[in-house]
């Protein structure tokens, strides 16, 4: 399993080091109907150097074919077999436990119904039809009546499966309620918790690995609790991109099973080598940046200001964050602990503010 104690280095571009990228979609390739800036060109270049692309999404609303068509329309050619959705994972889970033709109360969109039918299960809409299971996936059209039917069926003893527990999903307007928020309503009403088959459960990534035939895969995602935790669970290396929901603040406080191997602003990070993070006692350096300290507080400073700039590694402005991650992760602070970071010199102060990490003696 990859070492999550500090960000890893790569002496050559990730697209040349790994054979298949297992790409999350929302917040990585697109946000809503629009591609993330630069993503289409970056993925085309990754393919040009030999990396294959597979798409793994916790979004259960659309079919794999619809997702593939959307990607193709954006300029990222894809077919249905390139896509694994959380609806497919949930339907697979249920098909292994229920007889063919079993009734399943489906709370979700077209993608969920299609996945159930593909597995020989019978979608129904009412608890009065005595379903053997309830499966709940995200749909923007989910209403109180649907949640009520799910509640009645779960309280009646039906097996309850959620495609994922993502509390939010990205949008051009910012985070919006995701499937996890809707699942929480049924959980509150029933006092029960569902089986969740989407990321971070390793089922989805394992299925994608089998489909793609990957030998040396790299998971690419924007969420710590699903994409990165899922990569850790299945034993894959991971790249966290900051084009979605994760902030530098939440990254620094990531638990050991949610720490990525590589960092990037977006998927263009696939096209570059990544710098090493070097330990020197209680300090960690990356490029010309050094972070030091302990659980009582941390410092960030720039060193070797007169040294010539190197073009060997990615130039994305994240070296100070890489050094800070290694330093903070090394002490394994509880995720709810306050974190104090002191900026040494104005340039370091500016970097911390750009990352949303305020200066000395401020909780972040």
Q: Which residues are catalytic?
A: 24, 26
235 Cβ contact list (under 8 Å, min separation 6): 1, 2
Neighbours of 192 (CB within 10 A): 12
Rounded CA gap, 51 and 38, in Å? 17
DSSP 8-class letter at 278: E
Residue 218, helix vs strand vs coil: strand
Which H helix or E strand runs over 110?
helix 110-118
Distances from the Cα of 265 to the Cα of 24, 207, 316, angstroms: 15, 27, 7
**C-alpha distances out from residue 153 to 30, 75, 95, 165, 309, Å:** 35, 42, 18, 19, 63
- Cβ burial of 162 (10 Å; 0-12, 13-18, 19+) is buried
Give the 3-state secondary structure of residue 63.
coil
Nearest one of 48, 40, 49, 37 to 71, comparing CA atoms: 40
């Amino acid at each position: 399993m990859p070492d999550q104690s500090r960000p890893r280095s790569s002496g050559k571009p990730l697209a040349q080091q790994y054979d298949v990228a297992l790409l999350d979609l929302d917040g990585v390739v697109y946000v809503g109907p629009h591609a993330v800036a630069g993503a289409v060109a970056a993925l085309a270049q990754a393919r040009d150097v030999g990396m294959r692309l597979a798409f793994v999404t916790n979004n259960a609303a659309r079919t794999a074919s619809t997702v593939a068509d959307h990607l193709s329309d954006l300029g990222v050619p894809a077919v249905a077999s390139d896509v694994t959705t959380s609806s497919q994972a949930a339907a697979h889970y249920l098909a292994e436990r229920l007889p063919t033709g079993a009734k399943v109360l489906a709370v979700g969109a077209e993608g969920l119904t299609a996945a159930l039918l593909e597995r020989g299960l019978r979608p129904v809409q009412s608890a009065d039809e005595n379903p053997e299971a309830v499966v709940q996936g995200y749909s923007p059209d989910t209403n109180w009546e649907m949640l009520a039917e799910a509640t009645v069926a779960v309280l009646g003893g039906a097996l309850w499966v959620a495609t994922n527990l993502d509390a939010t999903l990205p949008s051009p307007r910012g985070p919006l309620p995701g499937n996890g928020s809707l699942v929480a309503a049924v959980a509150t009403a029933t006092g029960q918790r569902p089986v969740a088959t989407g990321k971070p459960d390793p089922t989805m990534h394992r299925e994608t690995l089998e489909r793609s035939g990957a030998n040396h895969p790299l998971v690419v995602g924007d969420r710590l609790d699903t994409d990165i935790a899922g990569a850790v669970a299945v034993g894959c290396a991971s790249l966290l991109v900051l084009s979605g929901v994760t902030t530098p603040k939440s990254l620094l406080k990531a638990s050991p099973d949610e720490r990525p191997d590589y960092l990037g602003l977006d998927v263009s990070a696939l096209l570059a080598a990544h710098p090493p993070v070097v330990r020197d006692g209680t300090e960690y350096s990356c490029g010309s940046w050094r972070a030091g300290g302990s659980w009582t507080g941390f410092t960030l400073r720039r060193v070797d200001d007169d040294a010539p700039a190197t073009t060997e590694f990615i130039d994305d402005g994240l070296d100070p964050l890489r050094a800070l991650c290694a330093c903070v992760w090394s002490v394994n602070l509880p995720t709810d602990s306050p974190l104090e970071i002191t900026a040494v010199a104005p340039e370091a102060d500016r970097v911390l503010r750009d990352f949303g990490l305020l200066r000395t003696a401020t909780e972040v």
